[in-house]
Amino acid sequence: MVPLTFAPIKGRGTNWSIQHRFASEQRESFDDGWGALDQAASEQPLPPGTEVIQEHVKSILTGNDSPDIGFDLSINPYRGCEHGCVYCFARPTHSYLNMSPGLDFETRIVAKVNAAERLRETFAKPSYTPLALNVGSATDAYQPVERRLGITRSIIEVLSECRHAFSLFTKSSGVERDLDLIAPMAAKGLVAIYVSVTTLDPQLARTMEPRAAAPYRRLKTIETLAKAGVPVGVSLSPMIPFLNLHDMERILVAARDAGASAASSIVLRLPWEVSPLFQQWLKQHVPERAERIMARVREMRGGKNYDSTFGTRMTGTGVWAEMIRQRFDKASAKLGFNRMRFELDLSQFRRPSAQPGQASLF
């Protein structure tokens, strides 16, 4: 059932527990003649809390073979993300857990509690060769639950001990907590942080990314990291026509002024269940622009809601996609942004000691 008549849930990106694509049953509400639909629409259920599910994983590194992505390995400390970004391309991954990519994705968070242990074991293997590594490529490594669990910090402790270079994407100010580890690594050319800023409009950000840091706070995080000597990039992703695209140049200027020295951007991606979730969100929050936005999205995807073809899935195709690319390229060049990712030094890697905290003899 698509609950278009239900009110949005405060602090959540969607109110829809959409069934995942592997579900064997499909359910929908119907009018039984007793006004049940009207009654359900008028009832305001209690806002759902966040459930943390602990998982002991067998491995923590995920390989990447996509030519569109600039790293070889990734670590995601969490499955699901409490930030609740309605457009998140990772939402469909909850389907593999037999959970909804909708409300479950942002309320049922799977925490990989033994991530650091598994990472240490992997680095200790003689067969392991250091490769370009990213932390938080799918779901934010500094989402709210990280304050309590500290899984991301434990991972960075292993990376620091082993002098393994890494990059990290986030839209949280929580990364500042770990500057005591990150700043010394940055001084050795071992780390780069990319902060996602999608809009400077706090109201739009609160609706689109309800539990992520406010735009001004993300800019402050860029400033804090840059002052600590950490290479910082800004990610303007996703850019959505008639929603946040008009903010592109202002975001780039604000990020540059805060200390960012690299910039990247992709257009909106709507794989699998993200498409109906995003369209429902549009009808709830910007109904007067919903059709117009989707028309432009389809224009950039060859008439479809999404096209997963390597080489164009991040950029789209057609006149609108080319216009967005040119705007971004010209603004970035004018502001002196480096369009390339920061080069990190993989040559400093050393295998971990036999016991955590034990010094090496060599």
pLDDT at 34 (0 to 100)? 58
pLDDT at 263 (0 to 100)? 96
Instruction: For residue 329, name the pLDDT band (cuts at 50, 70, 90).
Output: very high
Local structure of 340: helix, strand or coil: coil
Average pLDDT over all residues of the chain: 91
pLDDT at 47 (0 to 100)? 72
Instruction: For residue 361, name the pLDDT band (cuts at 50, 70, 90).
Output: very low
Question: Using an 8 Å Cβ cutoff, are 116 and 157 in contact?
Answer: yes
Q: Per the structure, how many domains does the chain have? A: 1
What is the distance between the terminal CA atoms of the chain, rounded to a whole angstrom? 63
What the block records as the tokens of 159 is 């990376």
Whether residue 41 is predicted with pLDDT greater than 70 in this model: the reply is no
pLDDT at 218 (0 to 100)? 98
What the block records as the tokens of 334 is 């004018």
51-61 pLDDT, tens digit per residue, is 999 999 999 99
Burial of 38 per CB tally in 10 Å (0-12, 13-18, 19+): exposed
Instruction: For residue 7, name the pLDDT band (cuts at 50, 70, 90).
Output: confident
Which CATH number covers residue 258?
3.20.20.70
pLDDT at 160 (0 to 100)? 98
Angle between helices 274-285 and 290-299 (to 10 degrees): 150
Instruction: For residue 30, name the pLDDT band (cuts at 50, 70, 90).
Output: low
- Do β-strands 78-79 and 108-112 pair in parallel, antiparallel, or remain unpaired? antiparallel
Question: Using an 8 Å Cβ cutoff, are 49 and 104 in contact?
Answer: no
pLDDT at 362 (0 to 100)? 45
Pairwise CA distance, residues 25 & 143, whole Å: 32
Q: In what order do the strands lie in the sheet with 262-267?
A: 62-63, 73-75, 133-135, 166-170, 191-196, 232-239, 262-267
Is 35 inside a domain boundary? no
pTM of the model: 0.91
149-182 pLDDT, tens digit per residue, is 999 999 999 999 999 999 999 999 999 999 999 9
Identify the residue with better confidence: 19 or 124.
124
Once rounded to an integer, what is the mean pLDDT over residues 270-276? 97
Whether residue 315 is predicted with pLDDT greater than 80 in this model: the reply is yes
pLDDT at 86 (0 to 100)? 97
Is 156 inside a domain boundary? yes
Whether residue 261 is predicted with pLDDT greater than 50 in this model: the reply is yes
List of residues 6+ apart from 250 with CB closer than 8 A: 200
Is 3 inside a domain boundary? no
Is 19 inside a domain boundary? no
Is 362 inside a domain boundary? no
Whether residue 344 is predicted with pLDDT greater than 90 in this model: the reply is yes
Pairwise CA distance, residues 280 & 274, whole Å: 10
What the block records as the tokens of 7 is 């009110």
Instruction: For residue 1, name the pLDDT band (cuts at 50, 70, 90).
Output: very low
175-188 pLDDT, tens digit per residue, is 999 999 999 999 99
Question: Using an 8 Å Cβ cutoff, are 199 and 265 in contact?
Answer: no
Once rounded to an integer, what is the mean pLDDT over residues 24-39? 58
Whether residue 8 is predicted with pLDDT greater than 90 in this model: the reply is no
Whether residue 26 is predicted with pLDDT greater than 90 in this model: the reply is no
Instruction: For residue 339, name the pLDDT band (cuts at 50, 70, 90).
Output: low
Percent of the chain with pLDDT over 90: 83
What the block records as the tokens of 133 is 């590594």
Is 37 inside a domain boundary? no
Whether residue 117 is predicted with pLDDT greater than 80 in this model: the reply is yes
Supply the range of the domain harboring residue 91: 50-335
Is 344 inside a domain boundary? no
Is 138 inside a domain boundary? yes
Lowest mean pLDDT among 57-66, 145-154, 319-328: 57-66
